[in-house]
Amino acid sequence: MSVTRHPDSAWLIDYACGNLSRGFELVISAHLMACAVCTEEVRRAEQLGAELLFGGQPAAPKLTAVDVLDAEGGDLSWLTARFALRPAVGTTSLQAFVDSYLDCGLSALPWRKAGRGLQVAKLRADEHERLWVLRAAPNTVLPRHTHAGSELTLVLKGAYFNGDTIYAAGDLEDANETTDHQPIVTRDAECICLAATEGPLRFASWAPRLVQRYLGI
Amino acid sequence: MLHKLMTKPHDPTAHEPTADDAGTDGAAIVPFPVDAGRTEENDSAAHETQLLVRVRDQRDRNAYQALFGLFAGKVQGYLRRTGIDPADAENILQDIMLAVWQKANLFDPQRASARTWIFSLARNRLIDIKRSLKREYAALERYSLETADDQVYEEDMLARAAGGKSVALLAHLPPEQASVLLMAYVEGKSHREIALELKLPIGTVKSRARLGFQRVRALLEQAK
């Protein structure tokens, strides 16, 4: 898989700092599964973190190495689902990664129709963000829309065009309130994307707005 | 505070090796092969990584103790600067240092140095805590200082947070870029939160972060 479309490195810095909300973090994590370039950028951002945050005045903990070595067991559940356990780039398929996050196959998601050729399944919604999976049939023209905030879209399967740019599996489209776009799925295969958005999408025509209100996207 | 930090004259001693780098806390330090072409900074990073590899491959308790001596104080300092109270910080430190011992098998020196790996463990633990508190933690005044034990952190917190080598690293940047990086790394604010706080467009904050990061990247590469 050759990934050519990457997020702004500001996203990777926020990821390395642990400042992203879950949905955006998931989309970035999934892109990293497929992208050696961004993985290396994250490593550098973490390296900067280590230099900045370990470089200050050290504290004097009471805890000793022996306390830790003698401790029986210990709860490391906080570690298991995290990206410290991230597999190396290219060792896990995007599909497998997302399935393991969802803990089910894509077919088991609560899909809803969202216009001709398009289905969406909302995975998360809170005051900060929404996360969903979009599934579009070949040749589907998605409603033209702008955004109230940031939107990261990762292609899991298939491909779509936005203007002259093609986004294929592993590619990440980094859009925000200044982006006005109309994705068109390529004609050979269906396209499945994972998307995180900060605010509701703003569709340019009235018909999708009704769908939007109905679906809450 | 950020402004004060940024206008501080560059400290020419910042690159000098410190007691931390040498690990002179009485813990057993294991010798490692000397490579004449390397700098002090590279050597200490390589040494840390070598210790962690010995923990991973040989379950070497002496190597672990040496690593603990090098990192426990730094990790604890990091936790305290994020606003965690001293008692909690000890428990969290234990979680992190336990993970270093028990999960060393996950360490791959091809992918990160020991200090970067330990930083990412600490960061992951903090994310978990933040989330389990449902961002109440984020709403707390991170630098509210009440107990006497906090006095040491009271003055010029960010300068301390980004003390020594780090100030030298950021001293190469225009102040507005350094500020954004410090807010992201030290205060744990997302670029969106920084944009709201500084009343700047999100694009401006992102480009400051990106440009600042690109500049320090070259310096980081030298210290890889």
Q: How many CB pairs under 8 A join A and B?
A: 214
- In angstroms, rounded to a whole number, what is the distance separating the alpha carbons of residues A11 and B29? 38
Reported as a single tens digit per residue, the pLDDT across B34-50 is 334 446 667 888 999 99
- In angstroms, rounded to a whole number, what is the distance separating the alpha carbons of residues A117 and A213? 19
Chain B residues touching A43 at Cβ < 8 A: 111-112, 116
Output the DSSP codes for A44-82.
HHHHHHHHHHHSS-----S--HHHHHH--S---HHHHTS
With bands split at pLDDT 50, 70 and 90, how would you rate the model's confidence at B13? very low
Residue A88 has pLDDT above 70, yes or no: no
CB B157 within 8 A of CB B1: yes
- Range of the structural domain that residue A149 is part of: 1-217
Reported as a single tens digit per residue, the pLDDT across A122-133 is 888 887 788 989
Give the CATH number of the domain where residue A131 resides: 2.60.120.10
Q: Which two tokens stand for residue A214?
A: 């109905």
Residues whose CB falls within 8 Å of the CB of residue A132, separated by 6 or more in sequence, listed in order: A120, A121, A122, A123, A124, A194, A195, A217
Burial category of A178 from C-beta neighbours within 10 Å (exposed 0-12, middle 13-18, buried 19 and up): exposed
Instruction: Name the residue among A63, A68, A84 with its Cβ closest to that of B124.
Output: A84
How many C-alpha atoms does B91 have within 13 Å on its Cβ side?
7
Residue B4 has pLDDT above 60, yes or no: no
Q: Which two tokens stand for residue B69?
A: 């001596």
List the single best residue of A57, A83, A126 to mutate versus B (max B Cβ within 10 A).
Answer: A57
Reported as a single tens digit per residue, the pLDDT across A159-194 is 999 988 999 999 999 988 777 778 899 999 999 999
Class of domain B18-156: mainly alpha
**Total tally of structural domains belonging to chain A:** 1
CA distance B35 to chain A (A): 22
CB A203 within 8 A of CB A213: no
Chain A residues touching B101 at Cβ < 8 A: 68-69
Q: Which of A3-17, A159-173, B17-31, B165-179 is predicted least confidently?
A: B17-31
- Inspect the interface and report whether the beta carbons of B191 and A14 lie closer than 8 Å: yes
Ranges A186-190, B11-15, B23-27, most confident: A186-190
CA distance A23 to chain B (A): 13
**Residue spans per domain, chain B:** 18-156
For residue B113, what pLDDT is reported?
92
- In angstroms, rounded to a whole number, what is the distance separating the alpha carbons of residues B80 and B150? 9
Mean pLDDT confidence for B123-150: 56
3-state secondary structure of B73: helix
Q: Which two tokens stand for residue A8?
A: 């702004």
User: Residues 88-127, chain A: which have Cβ within 8 Å of B?
Assistant: 88
Predicted-complex ipTM score: 0.82
- Inspect the interface and report whether the beta carbons of B189 and A19 lie closer than 8 Å: yes
Give the residue among B105, B103, B194 at the shortest CA–CA distance from A79. Answer: B103
CA distance B34 to chain A (A): 23
User: Residues 145-204, chain B: which have Cβ within 8 Å of A?
Assistant: 152, 160-166, 169-170, 181-182, 184-186, 188-193, 202-203
Residue A137 has pLDDT above 50, yes or no: yes
CA angle A13/A17/A19 to nearest 5° reads 95
Asked if the C-beta of B109 comes within 8 angstroms of chain A's C-beta atoms, the answer is no
Residue B118 has pLDDT above 60, yes or no: yes
Mean pLDDT confidence for A40-58: 87
Instruction: Name the residue among B124, B182, B203 with its Cβ closest to that of A79.
Output: B124
Chain A residues touching B164 at Cβ < 8 A: 55-56
For residue A200, what pLDDT is reported?
58
With bands split at pLDDT 50, 70 and 90, how would you rate the model's confidence at A106? confident
CA distance B36 to chain A (A): 23
Mean pLDDT, chain B, whole residue set: 73
Mean pLDDT, chain A, whole residue set: 83
- In angstroms, rounded to a whole number, what is the distance separating the alpha carbons of residues A94 and A98? 6
Handedness of CA B157, B159, B164, B166 (dihedral sign): positive
Instruction: Name the residue among A8, A56, A66 with its Cβ closest to that of B162.
Output: A56
Residue B12 has pLDDT above 80, yes or no: no
What pairs with residue A118 in β-bridges?
Answer: A136
